[in-house]
Amino acid sequence: DAAIRDAVGEFERQRDSYVERIKGARDAEIERRYQEELARLPNPRRRIEQLYQLKVSSLEAEISSLRTQFDRLQINSPAMTAAQRQQLTSRRDELRQKQNQIDRDWEDRKAVARRQFEEAQSTEAGKQKVSQSEQLSKNELSAKLTSIENERVELARTDQIRRIAARLYGVRPETVSDDQAGFVSVLWFGSLAMLAALAGPLTAIVALALQKIGTSDHMPSKLSLLIRRMLLTWRWRRTRNVPTPFEVITEKEIERRVEVPVERVVKEILYIPVLTDDPDAIRKSLTDTLPKDIAELVTVNFGKSRNAGAA
């Protein structure tokens, strides 16, 4: 009975401790774990009763047999003397004192064990609190890492260098390593620097070549013609027009008469004075200087008197 009372007391204290932990739990996972541990916590009463059942039964049978034997011996035994009674009384008192000493020792041991158990429970509760705080810190760090990773992926997908490196190495922009991005950046900016450095000299060379072509009288060389053709082709590609179809909505078609000017040929008579009065000379001069169809339309008119000869 004492063992059952002590064990059940410890069981009830553990159960109360788990109940308090479940009430103070801040996370659903920790609360679920405490509930599972509380459900697995066994009641020691049945185990102790089964442990002591055979022993108690044998002891009860032995006690019953000894009582029967005691009663029979007490009836058949002679009367106890005063010395024997005194010896039994002292022996009983000695055994009672030893029993009380043993009970006190066991009580002290149980108190020490109970104090150690309470300290272990408080230590476990402290560890649980530390574990909860560490779990919260872990969750916060995981959320921050997820946010930082999303920002890194977004920046990597908008970074021109990493996009070029991803196309070159056949990977995603966010998985491009620093070495790959560094190699592509050196190649990219190096090519841009080389183009910027060569732009001025090439422009000067082309300008001098074009100036030489413009000032020289002989035919330009094949290289000059090739460079000029390349420049014209590049300029045409830069300035070509791209047709863009678009729909024009007309509300109503209106027909109206439009007067179109028509060219009409009007013959005019132009009088040209000539310092001669020879018609043959004038006719010959007109035939030589004017077109045939116009010369046929020209008429020569003289006055009444003729004062000069053939010119």
Residue among 206, 207, 210 nearest 220 (CA): 210
Q: pLDDT tens, 167-212?
A: 888 888 888 888 888 898 898 889 889 988 988 888 888 888 777 7
pLDDT in the model for residue 291: 77
155 with 173: CB under 8 angstroms?
Answer: no
Q: pLDDT tens, 90-119?
A: 888 999 999 999 989 989 888 888 888 888
| DSSP state letters, 70-114 | HHHHHHHSPPPPHHHHHHHHHHHHHHHHHHHHHHHHHHHHHHHHH
Is the pLDDT assigned to residue 8 strictly greater than 50?
yes
Is the pLDDT assigned to residue 249 strictly greater than 70?
no
Give dist(CA 193, CA 199) in Å, integer.
10
Interval 274-284 mean pLDDT = 72
pLDDT in the model for residue 72: 82
Q: pLDDT tens, 135-153?
A: 888 889 989 998 998 888 8
E strand or H helix that includes residue 214: helix 178-215
Q: pLDDT tens, 118-138?
A: 888 888 888 888 888 888 888
pLDDT in the model for residue 101: 92
How many beta carbons lie within 10 A of that of residue 156, not counting itself? Answer: 19
Is the pLDDT assigned to residue 302 strictly greater than 50?
yes
pLDDT in the model for residue 262: 67
**Would you say how long the chain is, in residues?**
311
Q: Name the token pair of 150.
A: 């999303």
Backbone phi and psi for residue 240, each to the nearest 5 degrees, phi listed first:
-70, 150
**241-to-113, 235, 236 alpha-carbon distances in Å:** 96, 12, 9
Q: pLDDT tens, 205-248?
A: 888 877 776 665 556 667 767 877 887 777 666 555 556 665 65
Q: pLDDT tens, 42-86?
A: 777 777 777 778 888 888 888 888 888 888 877 777 776 788 788
Whether the model pTM is above 0.85: no
Is the pLDDT assigned to residue 303 strictly greater than 60?
no
